[in-house]
Chains A and B, each alone.
Chain A
Amino acid sequence: MTVDASRGADAPPELVQLLTPEGERVEHPDYDIDLTPEEVRSLYRDLVLVRRVDLEAVALQRQGELGIWASLLGQEAAQIGSGRALTDADMAFPTYREHGVAWCRDVDPVKLLGMFRGVNHGGWDPKEHNFHLYTIVIGSQTLHAVGYAMGIQRDDATAATIAYFGDGATSQGDVNESFIWASVFNAPIVFFCQNNQWAISEPLEKQTRIPLYRRASGFGFPGVRVDGNDVFACLAVTRQALKNAREGQGPMLIEAFTYRMGAHTSSDDPTRYRVASELEAWKLKDPIERVKAYLFKNELADQAYFDSIEAEADQLGADLRARCLAMPDPEPLAIFDHVYSEPHALIDEERAQYAAYLEGFER
């Protein structure tokens, strides 16, 4: 007997949406959210500011001040929505593109630039922000995140973990292994997949034959697809998923359906593999414009407010630029500083050797 694996997969994917691209508020039976005007304005502010941070970083790369940069353009709502759902005790494990989540975790944007400028390997203390260092290896952070979540379980703490990854990472062994461990141990973790449609030049249809969120059911936990350009929906769904995880209901997969409007990184040229009309279509679903339209239509903000946010963004960009250029080159011996958390004999020896080597040069 054969089982029709695709049965049910033919049904059109369901998308949780609370704010349409036109800025109309819509209801959803399972996920809803009640936001004060002040909260909506602050979400808007975050979206605009992280986009500005990103634009400034792209420009700095184009001016030779950063070696490379991975732009978040188009994914602001997925990151701000999910990032704002976290409590202080929750722990986030990012890829290298989660500049918006970093913002929500109070990581100073200039600290994000250090690694891309080559002056450090991370730039912030993960413990201080409960925001792990950027991970370049695709998908490996999901295993770290599950391990951390199992630690929360064993500490009997009330917190959850969130692991960020992309559509391409779902094809990695690490991600699938982390799904299995999370499921079997009922770990308090939310898998937050930003499906931005492209794994560098590989389109989604080369990653999967079913909507990604449906993969979760095969591992034994729920999955949901949310409009990744809708900050309300991303906030509502992630908040619920984290709450469930903290209350012992186990993992959940959130597929934030979004679009990478820029290049994969500054070294990539997307015009070589995707057509311009696709980008144009997604521009109509811009995550920021819909919140602006909502605020405007409902008279929750006026032009003066929008102008003040723009001015704040410009100031932030100029400030980021100045502080980036002023970042000092690292001391050569600093490379040994954070290899181990505690003193380590071999590292001490290597540090001493390297110091002696440096001493061998004339001043």
Chain B
Amino acid sequence: MRREFKLPDVGEGLTEAEIVRWHVRPGDEVKVNQIVVEIETAKSIVELPIPWDGQVTGLLADEGQTVDVGGPIIAIETGEPADPQTAALAEDLVPAPPAEGAVEPGAHGSPAPKEERQAVLVGYGVKTGATRRRTRRTTSTIPADPVANPSRVELEGPPSGAAPQPATATGAGRAALAKPPVRKLAKDLGVDLATLTGTGPQGSITREDVRAATASQPQPEPQAQAQPQAGEERIPVKGVRKMTAQAMVASAFTAPHVTEFLQVDVTETMDAVRRLRTLPDFAEVKVSPLLLVAKAVLTAARRHPMINSSWDEAAQEIVVKHYVNLGIAAATPRGLVVPNVKNAHQLSLPGLAAELAQLTETARAGRTQPAEMAGGTITITNVGVFGVDAGTPILNPGESAILAFGQVRDMPWVVDGALAVRKVTTLALSFDHRVVDGELGSLFLRDVGAMLEDPLRMLAWS
């Protein structure tokens, strides 16, 4: 018997999740509670176990696809004979479509168009459109006082909710009866409640009444989902891309950015990198120019603590951090992530090298956890690996400075009055001008440059 596993609500009221990674492929045998997929919800990455033994007959959603709660994601052939009773039991977890009228498109399909959904505590989320609701009997069959309870104390009078209301009372001069969610719906859809006649209890206006009113209203030009033109592709914005976009917009439009540039002769640094690699202390770790850039930033940040601070808008205070969580922008298959090395200022050089290596490896494998990205205080972005000289980086939100490290290449350079071929790079420092003035930014950038020009200065200033 073919069964479809539907995306459950794994976190109290979630409405959708993104498929991160399938652990199985069509044809695979699975056992009860075997992990078949990782999903990313608004709260966390969660592994989902399959509830049946059987064979995978199809993956119904692609990696990267966002699926609504209740949408089928994987089909399993369980091998049991199709027993209509048990099948009905299992399917009962999702409310059946309304008995009358056509099933709306997408009610059972996977990526349905966005619909309003109720948060539910147990099981799959419920689509309002698909909720099976028993119809009320006509008002006349309800006794005026639903309870003829002799024990009722006369002083209480009739229960207010049960007071019989003529349906015509909704007419002019009376506020229309409608529950708050219905009022909200009407407001959103631009329907004037006073113009409607309610069909609900006591003549109250229901969702259906509001919807019906919009159907009869002249439709505004449908805000159709933008269709891709010929030669265009439309990629939904989600996951890391969405996060990056939000963070960058937030940063670019709250912190006034200033960017300064400095070209530096890093021949000595490249030489130092080569010599460090031969030292036994660094036998186990990777020594890269980035390591010395990181060390230079840490050293310069200690000389100029204000660079390693953040702007607290709510408190109208500048928070100066006396520790450095050094962020490293990393390009990963899932997009840009900026994990940081916690308490980088306390690490030895080999320790820093090891942390940097582990952090980039984790990021490339796509396993960076949110905690590893939180709490950064200053960031380095190594744009040189892309083969460019410089850029104007945007601050990681909550930080006051970011250093872009360009490619290192052979350039004509004046040394002691004579032209020479040297290893040259470009440093670009963006900083938040609310916190850091041009003078401080320049001092910091110049210090980093000086240390890369002559790594001995790192010793001198350590």
- Residues of A that sit less than 8 Å from B by CB: 55-56, 59, 61-68, 117-118, 266-269, 271-276, 317-318, 321, 325, 345, 348-349, 352-353, 356-357, 360-363
Contacting pair B44 A360 (CB below 8 A)? no
Given contacts A352-B149, A353-B159, A357-B146, contact A67 B136 (CB under 8 A): no
B33: CB under 8 A from chain A?
yes
Q: What are 14 inter-chain pairs, A to B, with CB distance below 8 A?
A: A55-B33, A59-B33, A62-B47, A62-B49, A63-B5, A63-B8, A64-B8, A64-B124, A267-B11, A275-B371, A276-B369, A349-B149, A361-B134, A363-B134
Contacts from B to A (Cβ < 8 Å): 5-6, 8-12, 32-33, 43-51, 89, 93, 120-124, 134-137, 141-143, 146-147, 149, 151-152, 159, 369-371, 374
How many angstroms between the C-alpha atoms of A118 and B43 in the bound complex? Answer: 22
- Report whether B152 and A349 are in contact in the complex, using a CB–CB cutoff of 8 Å: yes
Given contacts A118-B121, A360-B142, contact A67 B49 (CB under 8 A): no
User: What distance in Å separates the Cβ of A34 from its nearest Cβ neighbour in chain B?
Assistant: 39
In the A-B complex, list the 7 residue pairs whose CB atoms are closest, starting with the nearest.
Answer: A64-B8, A269-B44, A67-B122, A356-B146, A67-B121, A118-B122, A361-B134
Q: Is the pair B370, A272 in contact by a Cβ cutoff of 8 Å?
A: yes
**Distance in Å: Cβ of B35 to nearest Cβ of chain A:** 9
Q: Which residues of A contact B143 (CB under 8 A)?
A: 356
When chains A and B are docked, how far (Å) is the Cα of A349 from the Cα of B6?
Answer: 41
Q: Are B149 and A271 in contact (CB under 8 A)?
A: no
A/B pair count, beta carbons within 8 Å? 100
* Residues of A close to B122: CB separation below 8 A: 64-67, 117-118
Q: Is the CB of A360 within 8 A of B137?
A: yes
> Out of B134, B147, B374, which one reaches A349, CB within 8 Å?
B147
Chain B proximity of A324: nearest CB distance (Å) = 11
Expressed in whole angstroms, the Cα–Cα distance for A68 and B12 within the complex equals 7
Query: Considering the chains assembled together, what is the distance between the CA atoms of A304 and B146 in angstroms?
Result: 66
Tell me, rounded to whole Å, the shortest Cβ–Cβ distance linking B64 to chain A: 20
Query: Given A61-B10, A67-B122, does the pair A271, B370 have CB atoms closer than 8 Å?
Result: yes
How far is A356 from B137 in the complex, measured between Cα atoms in Å? 12
Q: Which B residues are CB-close (under 8 A) to A273? A: 371
Report yes or no: A59 in contact with B371, Cβ–Cβ below 8 A.
Answer: no
Instruction: Contacts A272-B369, A272-B370 known; list 15 others, CB within 8 Å.
Output: A59-B51, A62-B48, A67-B120, A271-B44, A272-B371, A345-B151, A349-B152, A352-B149, A353-B146, A360-B137, A361-B134, A361-B135, A362-B134, A362-B135, A362-B136
Residue of B nearest to A274 (CB): B371
Give complex CA distance A273, B374 in Å: 10
Contact between B9 and A64 (Cβ–Cβ < 8 Å)?
Answer: yes
CB-based nearest B residue for A317: B33
The residue that A360 contacts in the complex, of B6, B93, B136, B370, with Cβ under 8 A, is: B136
